[in-house]
Amino acid sequence: MATYQDILYDVDGPIAYITLNRPEKMNALSNNLRGELVHALKEAEFDPAISVIVIRGAGRAFSAGYDIGGGRAAPSGSPYVHPKTGLPDVGSTRPGPSEWAHHVNETNWQAIWENYKPVIAQVHGYCLAGGTELATICDFRIVAEDAIIGYPPVRAMTTMDMMWTPWHLPMAKAREMAYLGDAMTGKEAAHWGWANRAVPEAELPATVEWFARRLALIDREMLMYSKRAVNRAYEIMGIRTAFNAGADIQALSAMRPMGGVFGRIAQKYGLKEALAWRDGPFGDFRTKGNPIPRKEYPDIKPQGRPGQGA
């Protein structure tokens, strides 16, 4: 059995539980964590005893998103990332400028959409940005009623890496989440159809287990065919091409003059200050109930990302 540093892997009968395990970082998706996750998903796919895979988060959150606090790098020698790029290797590590969105989309796609077994996201606490992409690519989402699900980076950084909202929400709501980055609660997520069901957080693990065991009543190959047929319908509707096109647009959005401002504030004054700059005027997340006007940084000019062209 593989040894993991950033996730836990447990088996209970036909269910494989993969627990994102960086609770002190709200399970921020570092490259090593993502690499371990890809590896564990393959293990579960190959294990003939497993019918269903559950992804969940340790501590207060499912995941607050990709690790933008400098924790992206994998420890040297980590077997879970490509030796040249330090990124999870699913064939393409998508090197080159502005390829982040393509890379993370490809990773989620190969590891979860293409997995032969159904994957359930068990979502509680914060599920933000990259966390929503991970949960969305899963087959099912079962959520705590008070979970906070949203994509705040669209307020100041880039568009969504994986443009999932049009596939799960009515158009008006899809636009609201994609433009504003405002969060929905777990209860709202179930109402709109993003989540299969929302339950009080205390009941979440038992509900997920009940749901997973119902799936496991069906033979694994049958589940594989059902997943395959539904996947293919969405592929024919263009989901993969839309994700690819969305990733190209994400790269464009990063090139706009304002695209580098968040990063420069974070670099100079710290991530907390950058998050306050981004979210303060909206009065949510860290500034919940106490909106703070957007601070001016005369020393930081809108000039695009360093080294990424005009």
How many Å apart are CA 114 and CA 65, to the nearest integer? 22
How many Å apart are CA 124 and CA 20, to the nearest integer? 12
Handedness of CA 116, 120, 121, 122 (dihedral sign): negative
User: Binding to other proteins (CB under 8 A): which residues in 98-117?
Assistant: 110, 114, 116
Q: Is residue 79 near other proteins by the rule CB under 8 A?
A: no
Helix 130-137 with 100-108: angle, nearest 10 deg: 30
Alpha helices in the chain (DSSP H): 31-46, 100-108, 130-137, 165-168, 171-180, 186-192, 204-215, 220-236, 239-255, 261-269, 271-279
User: Binding to other proteins (CB under 8 A): which residues in 10-39?
Assistant: none
Q: Which one of 73, 230, 245, 258 is in contact with other proteins (CB under 8 A)? A: 245
For the CB of residue 285, give the shortest distance to other proteins in the complex, in Å.
Answer: 35
Q: Is residue 91 near other proteins by the rule CB under 8 A?
A: yes
Per CB under 8 A, the segment of 23-31, 86-94, 131-139, 179-187 that binds other proteins is 86-94
Q: Which one of 79, 193, 238, 302 is in contact with other proteins (CB under 8 A)? A: 238
Conformational region of residue 285, where left means phi above 0, alpha means psi within -120 to 50, and beta covers everything else: left
Residue showing tokens 């003059």? 257
Per CB under 8 A, the segment of 130-138, 144-152, 217-225, 275-283 that binds other proteins is 217-225
For the CB of residue 249, give the shortest distance to other proteins in the complex, in Å.
Answer: 12
Q: Is residue 84 near other proteins by the rule CB under 8 A?
A: yes
Give the binding site for other proteins (CB under 8 A).
46-48, 84-85, 91-93, 95-97, 110, 114, 116, 221, 224-225, 228, 232, 235-236, 238, 240-241, 244-245, 248
